[in-house]
Structure 1
């Protein structure tokens, strides 16, 4: 089962539904934010309600974020990420050692809902950056009550060259139009037996060829999900829920960089596959601002 946002044929506004096999069943809610405002037990019951049924092939899936939802991310949560950040940093490599070993995790805002792209849509690389990479991550879907209710796939796009100059440039390296993709849907938490044993795969295609690929597992994650969620909710509220990306362990070696036209595929076991096409600059993302 996947909880999805979608457009059905002829519809002028998105719906929320449950995808199972080859069908999508609508739910009687105004949006994901309404669903994620419920406690976990009530959300689970709400998924049992029935509505119009569509052929999955006839609907267009949208990113599983809407209304006042936000996307946040955790950094330096895997040993590989720690090593990559140290390698790219020109002056402040010790910062990444300190945050990896610290009691308090690194958490940062990633995107508002309207900026997020979904499966089959595009992500962008900044035109003022020399080295840009996708960061494949398991995303926690957390309701307004700080309960983890599901999992999704996140592409936390990143400019390694900008952050490498100075860690304080992290917002510019991470937060920009086309810098975040989420999808294809939300796998309910009760359907995943062990979220610390999920395979994560990244494949980058260029001109029909695989130019980079790698695999890892959430078993290598240093932080626990409840720990990350607890810190996120310590001094903040998310009335319509939040997606929290849990960090990456797949970082291509320097000087690899994405290029316009590349296709990025991220697969998280038991959750799904998120695909994106790479464009260059905010001009390549003009469709996103227009469509929202």
Structure 2
């Protein structure tokens, strides 16, 4: 199943890809055997996929379908309970930053929900940085509140996958790596969506290719199989001794980043999951 957050007549609704269009969740609610949440976070945290599937089976007409091309997408949701990021999980990206890839496990950081935007929103370059980079990543969406998950059991707590476009004030972390949380936390510095795709539709995860594209040019690309630590290992790592609430998102690392400037258009492309596209604007003093 493919799910999104969509804006309709000034309000947000959940969208479910169906046939050649998208069904608003509000259309399915009267057909559901149980109440359906108003937001995509409600759907994830409430384990509502089975109820949605049942309601889709009862849908007798496609007159309420919205054409995908006409959809105004929002972020999958604006307040992930936790938003973890993984750094230096690909050797090539460590080379980009002229640093040594960590041994044993990649770097990590926790970022605030205030940095979240969605497909089509503007990335605003802050005046506090002279070198901002953007990087494509695969995002893992946690579907069940969990703790101390083993890597071999991680698939049981994964709701699905999304596309992440992650920005960094790179000049700050080149100055001092301890500035990573600050360098990642500016408003508009994390784009999420437009889709969450369930594992059955994504298929074999290791072959999924992730690409960072700036102004139509692919800056970096690689597959999940090239990660130092795979997404299931990361679920185990971040749930070790720590609760991961349903709806939490782990951005699993990038094959490489590109410098972005005022007027650029940057994309994160994750095969079988989705493409995020954001324009770039310099903040005015």
Normalising by the residue count of structure 1, what TM-score does the alignment of the two structures yield?
Answer: 0.80
Aligned residue number for residue 81 of structure 1? 93
CA distance in 2, matches of 1:239, 1:219: 27
SS of match in other structure, 1:267? strand
The 3 A distance-change label for structure 1 pair 46 and 74 is farther
Report the RMSD for the aligned CA atoms in angstroms.
2.3
Deviations 1:134-170 (A, max 9, x none): 0111111112334111111101101211001111111
- After superposition, residues 100-139 of structure 1 pair within 5 angstroms as 100-102=102-104, 104-112=105-113, 115-139=115-139
Of 272, 275, 281, which aligns to 1:273?
275
- Distance, in Å, in 2 between the alignment partners of 1:249 and 1:68 is 24
Q: Which residue of 2 aligns with 1:221?
A: 227
SS of equivalent residue, structure 2 residue 92: helix
Q: TM-score, normalised by structure 2?
A: 0.82
What's the counterpart of residue 234 of structure 1?
240
Secondary structure at 1:30 match in 2: coil
Ranges of 4+ aligned residues in structure 1 off by more than 6 Å? none
Tell whether the 8 Å contact from 2:211 to 2:218 is kept in structure 1 after alignment: no
What secondary structure does 2:266 align onto?
strand
Residue number among 176, 187, 193 corresponding to 1:183 in the alignment: 193
Displacement after TM superposition at 1:212 (Å): 5.8
Alpha-carbon distance in 2 for matches of 1:78, 1:137: 11
Unaligned runs of 5+ in 1: 88-92, 285-292
Partner in structure 1 of residue 31 of structure 2: none
The separation in 1 between residues aligned to 2:170 and 2:49, in whole angstroms, is 40
Query: What stretches of structure 2 of length at least 5 have no aligned partner?
Result: 26-35, 147-156
Which residue number corresponds to residue 200 of structure 1? 210
Question: Helix, strand or coil: the match of 2:144?
Answer: coil
Q: Which residue of 1 aligns with 2:262?
A: 260
- Contact 1:107–1:232 at 8 Å: present in 2 too? no
Q: In the aligned structure 2, how far is the partner of 1:221 from the partner of 1:271? A: 18
Query: Is residue 36 from structure 1 mapped to residue 37 from structure 2 by the alignment?
Result: no
Q: How many residues align?
A: 258
Instruction: State the alpha-carbon separation in 1 of the partners of residues 78 and 171 from structure 2.
Output: 31
Q: 1:151 aligns with which of 158, 161, 175?
A: 161
State how 1:165-176 maps to structure 2 within 5 Å.
165-176=175-186
**2:3 paired residue number:** 3
